[in-house]
Structure 1
Amino acid sequence: MTAPASPKATDGPPPAADGGGLDRGVLAVAAVVVLGAIMSILDVTVVNVALKHLVEDFNTPLSTIQWVATGYTLALATVIPVTGWACARFGTKRLYMISIGLFVAGSALAGMAWNAESLIAFRVLQGLGGGMIMPAGMTILTQAAGAQRVGQVMSIVGIPMLLGPIAGPILGGWLVDDVSWEWIFYINVPIGAVALVLAARILKKDEPQPGEKLDFLGLVLLSPGLAALIYGLATGAEKSDFGRTDVLLATVGGAVLTVLFVWHALRRGNENPLIDLRLFKRRSVAAASGTMVLFACAFFGAMLIVPFYYQTVRGESAFASGLLLAPQGLGAMLTMPIGGKLTDKLGPGKVVLVGLATVVLGVAGFATLITPDSSYWLHAAALFVMGMGMGMTMMPTMSAAMQTLVHDEVPRASTALNIIQQIAGSIGTAFITVLLAAQMRDRGLPGTNELSGGEAGANAPQPPPEVLAAMMQKLSDSFQTTYWWSLALLAFAFLPALLLPRRKPDTTVDAPMPMH
């Protein structure tokens, strides 16, 4: 197969290729990429905190406002598959700046939304830009550093992935409570403006490849397929019913289209597929993908319900729940740079196995603490251990796939890995949400919508203290059982992780992208 063309940089002295620390040029590029990524990832968790306020301000049912989040996710799934081709066709720098521009425009318009329908439409515009920011940024940074330093690069890219779930609820709670919901969108405008200025000044010009043909049939199959699949999973989880006709049609239809895309991408004679699935024939790429799927399904799904536990069982506000999650981010920030350097020196396989073991220890500890009155200090310790494990798992896993790729394969692989992460996260979220709802239902508890203050729960009468205490015990038991299931799923991630490379990358595989 002919490797797809990719953008080329202008000439200039290359950075150090000895596998040592990152030079100033790469760090400057990293700063630009992280700024854009933080903006897009933070936005997701900030908006989730504001959904209840949007219900009240727009006088709209929660089931409608939920599309403010779901519409954004569907837009991401639609646009991510095209990023690899677009990087080659328009150049990574140009595409990165276009994606930030779309995201900022969508943010400004969302802040001016006059009803729920207009807000949902502008969130879709945000998603069309946000979906390309992360894969394009990863491509720019990976090509700039080269294979021998990709572990350190991925540890930098992982910063916004950690800050989003931690800082998002805190920032969103403060903006909604003390400023206004419009500012959860307006805050992206100055950040995006700074990111655009820095991108224009720091990122090097690259040469687009006009001859790069778009795999139109692949796009027609994959983008609607992913969107339908995520819609089915999200709607089924929201309604706690995957047997509904609309949910079944969307989920099965999306799965069929995705399978047809796999056949199309692998068939003989297709020299330029939208996503190069032949890359997954390499053991490192396949093992990294399997590890990422199982880890994302178990971990991100489980972390999604932690704020819900704090708000329902412990009676904390959204702002306080965000603060209680901070130890996880601190733990990850401590180990992520170390994990990146160890990945480059020892190989990702050894680092990921240690990271997974640490995550399992933290999740097991947290699961035992899910009670109506357990110590927040012990919670902080368990979350801190979880974060330490995550810092040594997620980005080293990504590094395992990227280290074996040559320069021209990076944009396609980056796109594929982002799709895998997005789908795995959606599946994990749906799985954990449905599992929690089933546990609550088995214990005779009301649905998540009532407990979270939805339409039915807003005017519900307060039960007597003894009844409320029994209800909180049953609710905490539901969370605890769900966490044990998540832990079991997380344990399966060890199987593909055992196949990850356990040696440092070969620095002769690829040369770093020349930079000034």
Structure 2
Amino acid sequence: MSSVLTGRSRWVALVVLCTGMLMIVLDVTVVNVALPAIQHDLGFTPSSLAWVVNAYLIAFGGLLLLAGRLGDLVSRRGVFLAGLAVFVAASLACGLAGSQEALIAARFVQGVGGAMTSAVILGMIVTMFPEPREQARAIGVFSFVASAGGSIGLLAGGMLTQGLNWHWIFFINVPIGLVTAVAAIRLLPRDRGLGFGDGADATGAVLITAALMLCVYTIVKPAAELGWGAPQTLGLGGATIVLLVAFVIREAKARNPLVPLRIFRSADVSGANAIQALTVAGMFGMFFLGVLYLQQVLGYDSLTTGLAFLPTTVVMGTLSLRYAERLVHRFGARRVLLVGLALIAGGLALFARVPVDGGYVLDVLPATLLLGIGVGGSMPALAVLAMSGATEQDAGLASGLFNTTAQVGAALGLAVLATLSASRSEDLAGQGAGAAAALTGGYRLALLVGAALVAVAFVVALAVIRRSAERPSVEPAEPALVLTGER
């Protein structure tokens, strides 16, 4: 019995998918806000506390690509539901954790569930909405959730941590996840994957998962703590490259490759993923260093910090949900992307001028609003480009790839910008600057580097993205995936 989502049911299904995505995105920044409370209760040292974040990032970033492809081969709905189950169970374990080891282990499993849940969402969206204007609108909703969820998490984390305790930042995922799972079972029709054909590419799966996990580990651990030129960083970085080369060779020869290399033949798809990595790396300057500036220099608490980023979230949401689809349809994804990237770079550069005695209205709000406008316009356009070359067979893979480049970009941006900021602050303190002045000087340098990364993304977009992407969307060449089975 065939069933294809049509009309209102598709938009209800989109809400279910985006709720799952929001839960995953919120979890990252919610945890960041609660780290001081977690450190106090469980006795983490500053260095070991980083593993509350790193354990999640390594599993999440390492498994996104594999999870996306498994959705293509087995069932995107099945992978989404399995991911929700793992994420909810791990969230409960995180909330109940009474030791450092228990929390870190549960966070790793939570990252596995997060990767499975989020990797297939964009692929499901583009197959549910084959008509270009509706697809752009749906991707705008997804992009808002993926982009603005982080700043919403700052507010939610502050409220939960201060109003209750840090355990509730994990417990809150349990009812939300259960409701989402029940709704997904009822509303998302069964889909049948391509199958493994000549057999599963187990070798390819092991190589790419090991490469991505090692890459994220190298970025968040030795690179961030020992420096990029440290022997351990260089050795692990070299091992990552060897694994990636071995994976590419394997996929070129495999009869049924895990990741068909044809997906990289599209300049728009390859360019969009490169732009994604660079832009997310640069934007971490605002959402990571901006939070530190508000708290450590201006003296904001966690709840006030979340409220400070609320206008940015509102602007992102308004553009992504109401205007992104119209802008992409009228001006084309390339033009919208270029304008958005210019605004993001400008917002970061403006924020890099913050003084030690800065005020929110004059020194913080204008920069965050520029960033909100840029992200609200550019991220939906970027997602449209990243999925533009995906056929019905590769939609899950393209979705997982897009999310993977975002996670690697975030980890890379965090390591590079945090290291630069700390080094600059130490130099200024050594020259006699006060604590606040030294911290501010470090943040300003890192924010300028973030702006430069986004500027490079702008150049890549200008050079690589085809001018045909400036025109309004046309009907896709490939047919949409037909979802079969009974609800």
TM-score of the alignment, normalized to the shorter chain, above 0.5: yes
Counterpart position of 1:493: 457
1:135 counterpart letter in structure 2: A
State the distance in 2 between where 1:445 and 1:183 align: 41
Give, in whole Å, the separation in 2 of the partners of 1:491 and 1:165: 22
Task: State the partner residue of 1:224.
Answer: 210
CA shift at 1:141, angstroms? 1.3
| Structure 1 residue 445, shift from structure 2 partner | 5.7
Contact 2:429 2:435 in 1 (8 A): no
CA distance in 2, matches of 1:400, 1:414: 11
Structure 1 residues 84, 471: CA separation in 2 closer, same or farther (over 3 Å shift)?
closer
Sort the Cα spacing of 1:514 and 1:14 in 2 relative to 1 into closer, same or farther, 3 A: farther
Partner of 1:391: 376
Aligned to 1:460: none
Report how many residues are paired. Answer: 476
Residue in 2 that maps onto 1:260: 246
Identity %: 28
Partner of 1:483: 447
The 8 Å contact of residues 301 and 425 in structure 1, kept in 2 or not, is answered as: no
Q: 1:125 aligns with which of 95, 106, 109?
A: 109
Counterparts of 2:224 and 2:302, CA distance in 1: 20
Q: Which moved more, 1:116-125 or 1:79-88?
A: 79-88
Deviations 1:339-375 (A, max 9, x none): 233223432101101111222222222222x112222
CA distance in 1, matches of 2:45, 2:340: 42
The verdict on how the C-alpha distance between 1:167 and 1:508 changes in structure 2, with shifts beyond 3 A counting, is closer
Within 2, Cα distance between the matches of 1:98 and 1:40? 14
Contact 1:237 1:433 in 2 (8 A): no
Q: Is the 8 A contact 2:65 2:119 kept in 1?
A: no
Name the amino acid aligned to 1:180: N
- Distance of 1:431 and 1:238 partners within structure 2: 7
Aligned to 2:156: 171
1:414 corresponds in structure 2 to 399
Whichever residue aligns with residue 340 of structure 1, its letter is E
Compare 30-39 and 78-87 and name the one that shifted more: 78-87
Residue 214 of structure 1 deviates from its aligned partner by 2.4
* Partner SS for 2:479: coil
- Where in structure 2 are there 5+ consecutive unaligned residues? none
Summarize the Cα distance change of 1:493–1:443 in structure 2 as closer, same or farther, 3 Å threshold. same
Match of 2:65 in 1: 81
Match of 1:18 in 2: none
The CA distance in 2 between the partners of 1:344 and 1:133, in whole Å, is 29
After TM superposition, the structure 1 = structure 2 runs for residues 315-464 of structure 1, keeping only pairs within 5 Å, are: 315-337=299-321, 338-368=323-353, 370-378=354-362, 379-444=364-429
Q: Which residue in 2 is equivalent to 1:472? A: 436
What's the secondary structure of 1:509's corresponding residue? Answer: coil
Matches of 2:400 and 2:294, distance apart in 1: 35
Match of 2:473 in 1: 505
Q: Is the 8 A contact 2:295 2:305 kept in 1?
A: yes
Name the one with the larger helix percent: 2
Asked if the contact 2:54–2:217 (Cα under 8 Å) also holds between the matched residues in 1, the reply is: yes
From the superposition, tell whether residues 443 and 156 of structure 1 become closer, same or farther in structure 2 (CA, over 3 Å). Answer: same
Answer yes or no: is the 8 Å Cα contact 1:42–1:167 preserved in 2: yes
2:18 aligned to which of 13, 24, 34:
34
| 1:149-228 matches, cutoff 5 A | 149-212=134-197, 213-228=199-214
Q: CA deviation at 1:244?
A: 4.4
**Alignment partners' CA distance in 2, 1:117 and 1:217:** 31
Q: Secondary structure at the match of 1:443?
A: helix
Report the Cα distance in structure 1 between the residues aligned to 2:147 and 2:8, rounded to whole angstroms: 23
SS at match of 2:256: coil
Shift in Å at residue 301 of structure 1?
Answer: 4.1
Q: Which moved more, 1:216-225 or 1:78-87?
A: 78-87
CA positional deviation for 1:28: 1.0
Structure 1 segments unaligned to the other structure (5+ residues) = 1-9, 16-22, 447-466
Tell me by how many angstroms 1:400 deviates: 0.9
- Aligned-CA RMSD value: 2.2
